[in-house]
Amino acid sequence: VNVAVVRETWSNERRVALTPEVAKKLKSKGASVLIERGAGDPASFPDAGYKDAEVADAAAVLGRADVLLKVQPPTLEEIAQLREGSVVISLLQPHLAPERTRALRDRRITSFAMELLPRTTRAQAMDVLSSQAGVAGYKAVLIAAEASPKFFPMLTTAAGTIRPSKVLIVGAGVAGLQAIATARRLGAQVEGFDVRPETKEQIESLGAKFLDLGVSAAGSGGYARELTAEEREQQQRALAEHLKGIDVIVTTAAVPGRKAPRIISAAMVEGMKPGAVIVDIAAETGGNVELSEAGKTVVSANGVSVIGPVNLASSAPIHASEMYARNLYNFLELSLKDGELKLDWDDELIAKTCLTHAGEIRHEPTRQLVD
Ligand code: NAD
């Protein structure tokens, strides 16, 4: 089986779906590895490092691919160059671009959307959402620290004592917990909150304080559900008062398959101290903060900076690619037997992650969206 990788073409995308380490593992499993010239350059993996792969141009790589590994969804042009019946493993954002799903279906490509991977214990080593969210949480705190006019740690100096920054992390999933850990390492006084009650213990185990806003909304599958209007109002009221004392906020809240919940209103930001900084990781998916704009820094009238970073995972491309490539390898390995690809449709990880196969859309919500 030919496992192929092309250079990512989205602007700002520096990750690559295959590292030299994973190329070696694939070869030892009997696969042949093809990589587009320069595909690893943006992530600092030069061609020469891929000793177990054949380097070729994009057209040759796509035309010979049995399995194409990608970070961002393939473009319509790339899909058109793939052979019928080939396999694509990538993030595919099926809710965003119906024409892409149609193209995959119509070319009879077997596509796996890594967003659809069930979040079971067995799937953890394949979970790209988790590995990349960890990078985002870490980077968001560094961006906040850089933009803040204050120190994070407490300092005792000859010029007097500097009090530590008060940092609030909103949403304590994978990104939020990494943000809490990072802010703690920088010495800030950290609080976190989430609507899933089990996060209290997780937040406290990282040495942060759980901010109790009196709202609990656990949904299914370990995720949050959307808040009712009443719950939302209660959360907002309790939060507005609390934010007056906060120096830095990092927001990470998400609800699967929906726009990011709006948690911090413009009025709340106007009640904050001048110089306060907010980094909204959810800016790209609708925003947790009313004022945030993806790719921009908005400064409110009272001097609060609201930063909306895009594609944070791509900003630490070496480690993000290493984790991403290992995640994809662990998923692909389920189907590699003696150098051949054998898809076991009885395996729920294969069946549930599949977006298109044999000219059909296998993921019901996407099928309804596309047809
Ligand atoms: P996510 O990106 O969907 O959401 C981020 C966080 O936002 C979640 O913790 C969610 O509860 C929170 N949130 C949603 N609405 C909110 C609101 N109105 N106010 C405050 N917070 C709000 O979630 P995620 O980080 O991908 O993971 C969610 C859960 O799944 C976590 O418990 C995680 O540990 C678990 N998980 C399990 C596995 C596994 O076992 N394989 C893998 C990954 C994640």
318 membership: H or E segment, kind and range: helix 317-333
Q: Which of 41, 44, 93, 119 is catalytic?
A: 119
- Buried (b) or exposed (e) across 73-103, using 16+ Cβ within 10 A? bbeeebbebbeeebbbbbbbebeeeeebbbb
124 is catalytic: yes
Contact present, 184 and 200 (Cβ < 8 Å): no
Q: Ligand 1 center to residue 363 CA distance, Å?
A: 22
Q: What is the arithmetic mean of pLDDT over 97-116?
A: 97
| Euclidean distance between CA atoms 115 and 27, whole angstroms | 26
**β-strand partners of 168:** 191, 249
119 is catalytic: yes
Q: What is the arithmetic mean of pLDDT over 45-66?
A: 98
Report the pLDDT value the prediction gives residue 238, as an integer from 0 to 100: 87
The set of residues, in sequence order, having a beta carbon less than 8 Å from that of 163 and lying 6+ positions away, is 154
**β-strand partners of 354:** 112
How many C-beta atoms lie closer than 10 Å to residue 56's C-beta?
17
Q: What is the pLDDT of residues 184-206, one digit of tens each?
A: 999 999 999 999 999 999 999 99
194 lines ligand 1 (CB under 6 A): yes
Q: What is the arithmetic mean of pLDDT over 291-296?
A: 97
177 membership: H or E segment, kind and range: helix 174-185
251 membership: H or E segment, kind and range: strand 248-251
- Three-class SS of residue 277? strand
With cut-offs at 50, 70 and 90, classify the pLDDT of residue 218. Answer: confident
223 is catalytic: yes
DSSP 8-state class, residue 261 = P
Q: Ligand 1 center to residue 242 CA distance, Å?
A: 23
Q: Does residue 260 register a pLDDT over 90?
A: yes
Q: Which residue has the tokens 């990880």?
A: 349
**β-strand partners of 189:** 166
Contact present, 79 and 26 (Cβ < 8 Å): no
Residue nearest to atom 10 of ligand 1 (CA): 224
- Three-class SS of residue 211? coil
Structure tokens given for 225: 């559900």
Atom of ligand 1 nearest to the CA of 226: 15
Report the pLDDT value the prediction gives residue 371, as an integer from 0 to 100: 83
Report the pLDDT value the prediction gives residue 319, as an integer from 0 to 100: 98
Please give the share of the chain, as a percent, with pLDDT higher than 90.
Answer: 88
Q: What is the arithmetic mean of pLDDT over 320-349?
A: 97
Q: Which of 7, 32, 108, 223 is catalytic?
A: 223
Residue nearest to atom 25 of ligand 1 (CA): 173
Query: CA 149 → CA 182, 184, 268, 274, distances in Å?
Result: 18, 18, 20, 10
| Euclidean distance between CA atoms 140 and 181, whole angstroms | 12
Q: Which of 90, 130, 178, 315 is catalytic?
A: 130
Atom of ligand 1 nearest to the CA of 118: 41
Burial class, 151, CB count within 10 angstroms (exposed 0-12 / middle 13-18 / buried 19+): middle
300 is catalytic: no
260 lines ligand 1 (CB under 6 A): no
224 lines ligand 1 (CB under 6 A): yes
Strands 248-251 and 277-280: parallel
| Euclidean distance between CA atoms 114 and 89, whole angstroms | 7
Report the pLDDT value the prediction gives residue 126, as an integer from 0 to 100: 98
Q: Ligand 1 center to residue 196 CA distance, Å?
A: 8
Query: CA 224 → CA 25, 54, 61, distances in Å?
Result: 37, 44, 41
Burial class, 201, CB count within 10 angstroms (exposed 0-12 / middle 13-18 / buried 19+): exposed
Nearest CA among 144, 25, 128 for reference residue 72: 128
Atom of ligand 1 nearest to the CA of 254: 4
127 is catalytic: yes
Report the pLDDT value the prediction gives residue 352, as an integer from 0 to 100: 97
Nearest CA among 291, 293, 288, 287 for reference residue 301: 291
40: phi then psi, degrees, rounded to nearest 5: -90, -5
Q: What is the pLDDT of residues 125-142, one digit of tens each?
A: 999 999 999 999 999 999
DSSP 8-state class, residue 265 = -
135 lines ligand 1 (CB under 6 A): no
How much is the ipTM here? 0.94
